[in-house]
Amino acid sequence: MSRMTIPEPDNLSDANLTAQGLRPAGNGRVLLLACGALAREILALVRLNGWDHMDLACLPAILHNHPEKITDAVRAAVDSHRANYARICVVYADCGTGGLLQAACDEMGVEMVPGPHCYAFFDGLAEFESRGEVTSFYLTDFLSRQFDAFVWRPLGLDRHPQLLEMYFGNYEKLVYLAQTDDPDLTARAEAQAARLGLAFERRFTGYGDLARVLEGWALQGTQGAPATRALQKP
Amino acid sequence: MSDEEDDIILSELDDEELVQQMFDDLYDGLKDEIMEAVNILLERGWAPYRVLTEALVGGMTIVGNDFRDGILFVPEVLLAANAMKGGMSILKPLLAETGAPRMGSMVIGTVKGDIHDIGKNLVAMMMEGAGFEVVDLGINNAVDAYLGAMAEHKPDILGMSALLTTTMPYMKVVIDTMKEQGIRDDYIVLVGGAPLNEEFGKAIGADAYCRDAAVAVETAKKFIARKHNQMAAG
């Protein structure tokens, strides 16, 4: 397999985060290994809180559409970065891996974000569960910006609009979980709801439980589950 | 579609050429052409069951294989399924009248809290194509809905589907309730859905996890044959 060209840490274009991910800056002893769709939010939290001991590497965000590939990709990334950090934390929730990512993280001795997916941890795990929204389709800031690349085109709706009912016929509402106050993104999300034939709701979440999880890891410093635990196995 | 293909007059093709053309038209998701070809074969005296198995199922098998091998993707499979559905709508009433062979019966539904039915619908359609009588409970089914349908229809097989990590554990609720009521072994339980895997299927006490619709059909046939053999031996 040929090696991908990974953008530099300051290259945070959505296109790069979608297709290639993000290479770590090489600073800090704790590596956050995240989905590219979370890069901007994580870097904002790191800067805001002065977590200089935390570095960030991202896998391509488009793995969101291929959850069957996430576990192996995380496993490979943990292996490749392990020697350079005292500790690695995986900023993925289950994300459709059906428990396989949690099992892999347990085996590798690294922590990951609890819950089913980023919608839940932005909304707040307890709140998300208590809402019991069965017929809602979710977007985040990233997914609202990248709606065509992550939803419209992969589902073939650009080529076969007649499939819309098959995909979204059972949904009632598009919920835009907003991390930031951005009128342009809100307008985009509302337009996307209209394209899907769904009602629209904007719900401001900020960084939700993501901020709390990262803060917990930041406070543990290098003292949490060591990145090298798996290497200590016989 | 090319100009050359535009010029094809289906009724002028001989049977072999027409079936081959139906394979192509299914592959391209051409519902109207499939319906026209089904009617032509019926007018030529083909038994409905033969049209179903040799033309429609034959064509969908190619689609299924190419999906499994990563040549076709979900949108194209859905278009093909929609075309097959058009053909099935003509054949279904005729199959009952003409006493087509019956492989067995199945109750199928998406579990509680889950509204996703694309995979479930594909399985139901392919099972019907393989000669199974299918009772489709739709989406968001609580345990009582499954139990009620099993009591009413006495199927050979119970099929459960889930797309979400949060809803797939509900399959175990259904199976555990079946155990409590002493009816678990009266049914073949097949489960499927994107986040599931074979380990999960085993862990919850299902008879098998089915990766896709084609696998579901083959697995169902295998279990039905085993059941018949056991009955013959017993």
Task: Count A/B contacts: CB-CB distance under 8 Å.
Answer: 57
A176 and A110 inside one domain: no
The mean pLDDT value for B170-195 works out to 97
Q: What is the pLDDT of residue B72?
A: 93
Instruction: Please state, in angstroms and rounded to a whole number, the distance separating the CA atoms of residues B60 and B69.
Output: 14
Condensed to tens digits (0 to 9), the pLDDT of residues B33-91 reads 999 999 999 999 999 999 999 999 999 999 999 998 999 999 999 999 999 999 999 99
The mean pLDDT value for A27-37 works out to 95
- Which of A129, A150, A182 has the alpha carbon at shortest distance from A60? A150
User: Residue A44: which domain range?
Assistant: 1-118+208-221
A81 and A184 inside one domain: no
A109 and A146 inside one domain: no
The mean pLDDT value for B153-157 works out to 98
Q: What is the pLDDT of residue A2?
A: 41
A89 and A132 inside one domain: no
Condensed to tens digits (0 to 9), the pLDDT of residues A116-158 reads 999 999 999 999 999 999 999 999 999 999 999 999 999 999 9
Phi first, then psi: give them for residue B162, nearest 5 degrees: -155, 140
Q: Are A80 and A200 spatial neighbours (Cβ–Cβ below 8 Å)?
A: no
SS3 A174: strand
Q: How far is A135 from chain B (nearest CA, A)?
A: 7
Residue A103 lies in a domain: yes
Beta bridge partners of A200: A174
Q: Are B86 and B35 spatial neighbours (Cβ–Cβ below 8 Å)?
A: yes
CATH number at residue A59: 3.40.50
Condensed to tens digits (0 to 9), the pLDDT of residues A105-114 reads 999 999 999 9
Please enumerate residues of B whose Cβ is less than 8 A from a Cβ of A.
Answer: 29, 73-76, 78-79, 82, 113-118, 139-140, 164-166, 168, 194-197, 200
pLDDT band at B5 (very low <50, low <70, confident <90, very high): low
A129 and A112 inside one domain: no
Which residue carries 């919920």 as its tokens?
A175
* CA R_g for chain B: 19
Instruction: Please state, in angstroms and rounded to a whole number, the distance separating the CA atoms of residues A48 and B234.
Output: 72
* CA R_g for chain A: 18
- Other C-beta atoms within 10 Å of A212: how many? 13
**Whether pLDDT at A10 is above 80:** no
CA atoms within 13 A on the CB side of A81: 34
Instruction: Please state, in angstroms and rounded to a whole number, the distance separating the CA atoms of residues B184 and B180.
Output: 8
- The per-residue pLDDT of chain B, averaged, comes to 94
A37 and A153 inside one domain: no
Please give the structure tokens belonging to residue B126: 């392919």
Delineate the domains of chain B, giving CATH numbers in brackets: 9-101 (1.10.1240.10), 102-234 (3.40.50.280)
pLDDT band at A229 (very low <50, low <70, confident <90, very high): very low
Q: Which residues lie below 8 Å from residue A57, measured CB to CB, with a gap of 6+?
A: A21, A22, A23, A24, A31, A32, A33, A34, A77, A81
CA distances from A210 to A46, A106, A174, B16 (A): 12, 20, 22, 60
C-alpha torsion sign, points B56, B57, B58, B63: positive
A3 and A112 inside one domain: yes
CA-nearest residue of chain A to B76?
A156
A182 and A74 inside one domain: no
Residue A55 lies in a domain: yes
DSSP E strand boundaries for chain A: 30-35, 54-59, 87-91, 111-112, 136-139, 173-178, 199-204
CA-nearest residue of chain B to A170?
B115
- Considering only CB atoms, A98 lies closest to which of B115, B118, B195, namely B195
* Buried b / exposed e along B52-71 (16+ C-beta atoms within 10 A): bbbbbbbbbbbbbebbeeee
Residue A233 lies in a domain: no
Q: What is the pLDDT of residue A1?
A: 39
A85 and A182 inside one domain: no
CA-nearest residue of chain B to A115?
B166
Q: Are A31 and A79 spatial neighbours (Cβ–Cβ below 8 Å)?
A: no
Residue A232 lies in a domain: no
Instruction: Please state, in angstroms and rounded to a whole number, the distance separating the CA atoms of residues A25 and A43.
Output: 11
- Considering only CB atoms, B165 lies closest to which of A96, A159, A167, namely A96
Q: How many domains does chain A have?
A: 2
Burial class (CB in 10 A: 0-12, 13-18, 19+), B16: exposed
Residue A161 lies in a domain: yes
A113 and A25 inside one domain: yes
Instruction: Please state, in angstroms and rounded to a whole number, the distance separating the CA atoms of residues A150 and A135.
Output: 19
CA distances from B90 to A4, B15, B39 (A): 51, 18, 8
Q: Which residues lie below 8 Å from residue A8, measured CB to CB, with a gap of 6+?
A: A23
Residue A131 lies in a domain: yes
DSSP 8-state class, residue A2: P
Q: How far is B11 from chain A (nearest CA, A)?
A: 28
- Considering only CB atoms, B117 lies closest to which of A116, A156, A170, namely A170
A67 and A85 inside one domain: yes
**Beta strand A111-112 pairing with A136-139:** unpaired
pLDDT band at B234 (very low <50, low <70, confident <90, very high): low
CA atoms within 13 A on the CB side of A112: 29
pLDDT band at A224 (very low <50, low <70, confident <90, very high): low
A97·B165 Cβ contact <8 A? yes
